[in-house]
Amino acid sequence: MAFDRRTFLGTTAATGAAVALTGAASAPAAASTPAPAAAHHGPRTYAFTVMGTTDLHGNVFNWDYFTDAEFDDKAHNDVGLAKISTLVDRVRAEKGRRNTLLIDAGDTIQGTQLSYYYAKVDPITARRGPVHPMAQAMNAIGYDAAALGNHEFNYGIPVLRRFEEQCDFPLLGANALDAKTLRPAFAPYSMHRLRTPHGRDVKVAVLGLTNPGIAIWDKANVQGKMTFPGLEEQAAKYVPKLRSMGADVVIVSAHSGSSGTSSYGDQLPYVENAAGLVAEKVPGIDAILVGHAHAEIPEYRVKNRATGKDVVLSEPLKWGQRLTLFDFELTWERGRWSVAKVSAKVLNSNTVAEDKKITRLLSDEHRKVVAYVNQVIGTSTQAMSSAEGPVKDVPIIDLINHVQAETVRAALAGTEWAALPVLSQASCFSRTAAIPAGQVTIRDAAGLYPFENTLEARLLTGAQLKDYLEYSARYYVRTAPGDAVDPAKLTNAENIPDYNYDAVYGFTYGIDIAQPVGSRITGLSYQGRPVDPAARFVLAVNNYRASGGGNFPHVPQAKQVWADSDEIRNTIIQWVKAKGTVDPAAFASVDWRLTRGGVPVF
């Protein structure tokens, strides 16, 4: 049976199994016929390299669509597949094209306005629609396989299936199963043959694993359609199978961090960052390309409990900032190839120029998106910045919260919940977000909310919201009265990212950073009165938080009284268009402050 990428979960159980298996078996091979045996003296050896990327998040160009300028950060990293392409070409030239493979560990089609445009504005799912820029670039570079990331599901399964059709390489997900048949919904693995000068090809298996958190984070898109068991479970099933099929080398491409932790607590039935556990517990794996955690890990070795052998892990930095190289050395022993040595390192994409082959290929798409994000949608009476958002109640974060609260209030009009107070939560998603004085563009508004989150309304009590705020306040480093305060060192305690610190709009309160975690919220009030622990409130909250993101208390279990399918980003854009003028005087106020012993820190 031919692998039909247009088939979508409507197959019978038997057909679904055949589709998944055939898709794995028919992956592109570097060479399919063995070369004649060569004369040799001493042991026969063969070396090859597997290159890897992860968390590309829609980055093709070294460009920031939110600032409308070349990408730059404090470390002067560069981003994008155009840079990766140059690195890949160099490695292939050095190693020999047939002695290399190129794989990815997921989160490909979400993250920039380029990827958003071709999912929502000019969608690839439209009749005679465009080819996704990420598919075009990855095809041109010559990827051999890619694992599914959780963000692949953000735009719904039809967009993902269309992207899959447009790729010249398989999308792998051994633990992405059809909910009804429990058969693989995508190819679980791909098999690649590398020609050697010694008479027998090396068979390299790539097993793809994705993140089980998809079942929570994209519940609206996958519930009843797909299920996502744990990585260890599926690796234990497939690795022996791949070895029995003759795989000389087994590589796992896992969209799962290496730490063995989860940011979702009991909300997530399987470990979110399980790559290290897979290496430790499942024998027969030689290397793991790690994704999801947005960390840089050039080489990390984990000893397998059963075999005592090291499994080499590597995670290249996100957005195409790094390229991982796994270098394998094999020897011919007892009629088969065996792995003698594996090492890993990363290459920095800021050391090379963009590949003009890729930039020329997608120049039209890039120009369209730049024009789209620079459309003027309104004006602002004054400039606003998020630079101090992590330590102060700033107007630009109030804008997000005001739009969310107003949207929920309007949606609940005429319902049994209409009389309840509406609060809102928001984070400082980017410390570089800004609204200029004067004309406001789509990119200005979209820059406030770089994620594709949607808006919900949940019912909570005053006591529950106090717990919520105490949990959020863990973000601050405990600082005694009288100690010097450095804003740069005050935040991100316990490595909590900015997007997991929430301010709640509608309440007034202090955060006493001299106090221990759990006892920091002071003077919690609503409209000038202390908050009644039993009082009921509606919280406007993003779906990431509502589904357990960050493991905040109470919200995932709270009653949902409303939900929207449109991105919060679009809600903000439409609000600015409708108002015409953004005036902070209409919504901004200082409702929370950092304090020590009742004395404001700032």
Q: What is the pLDDT of residue 296?
A: 97
What is residue 260's predicted lDDT score, i.e. its pLDDT?
Answer: 79
Q: What is the pLDDT of residue 271?
A: 80
Q: pLDDT-derived band of residue 324, with 50, 70 and 90 as boundaries?
A: very high
The predicted pLDDT at position 269 comes to 62
pLDDT at 42: 63
Residue 107 token pair: 């989160």
Q: Give the whole-number percent of the chain exceeding pLDDT 90.
A: 85
What is the reported pLDDT for 306? 97
CA distance 166 to 126: 13
- How much is the average pLDDT of 165-187? 98
Q: Is the pLDDT of residue 298 over 90?
A: yes
Determine the pLDDT at residue 194: 97
Tally of CB atoms within 10 A around 401: 23
Q: Is the pLDDT of residue 470 over 80?
A: yes
* pTM of the shown model: 0.83
The alpha carbon of residue 564 and the mean position of all alpha carbons in its chain are separated, in whole angstroms, by: 22
**What integer is the mean pLDDT of 311-321?**
98
For the segment 535-557, the average pLDDT, to the nearest whole number, is: 94
Cα(240)–Cα(175) distance, integer angstroms: 16
- Count Cβ atoms below 10 Å from residue 364 Cβ, excluding itself: 11
Q: What is the mean pLDDT of the chain?
A: 91
- Would you say residue 327 has pLDDT above 60? yes
Cβ atoms < 10 Å from Cβ of 371: 9
CB environment 442-453: b (16+ within 10 A), e (fewer): bbbbbbbbbbbb
Q: Range with the lowest mean pLDDT among 253-267, 287-301, 350-364, 402-416?
A: 253-267
pLDDT at 31 over 70: no
265: left (phi over 0), alpha (psi -120 to 50) or beta: left
Annotate 143-180 with DSSP letters as a single string: --EEEPPGGGGTT-HHHHHHHHHH-SS-EE-TT-EETT
The answer on pLDDT for 40 being more than 60 is no
CB burial string 20-39: b at 16+ within 10 A, e below: bbebbeebebbeeeeeeeee
- pLDDT for res 34: 42
pLDDT category of residue 267 using cuts at 50, 70 and 90: low
Full DSSP string of 289-310: EE-SS---EEEEEEE-TTT--E
Q: Which pLDDT score, from 0 to 100, does residue 10 have?
A: 34
Confidence label for 263 from pLDDT (cuts 50, 70 and 90) = low
Query: Does 300 have pLDDT greater than 60?
Result: yes
CA 120/CA 571 separation, integer angstroms: 14
* Mean pLDDT of the 13-24 span: 33
Pick from 247-261, 300-314, 347-361, 505-519: least confident: 247-261
Check residue 566 and give its pLDDT.
85
Helix (H, G, I), strand (E, B) or coil at 49: strand
pLDDT at 565: 80
Lowest mean pLDDT among 52-66, 123-137, 261-275: 261-275
Judged by average pLDDT, the poorest of 96-100, 244-248, 564-568 is 564-568
Whole-number pLDDT of residue 218: 87
pLDDT digits (tens, 9 = 90+) for 269-289: 678 889 999 999 999 999 999
Share of the chain above pLDDT 70, in %: 92
Q: What is the mean pLDDT of residues 532-561?
A: 95
Whether the predicted pLDDT of 9 surpasses 50: no
pLDDT at residue 323 above 60? Answer: yes
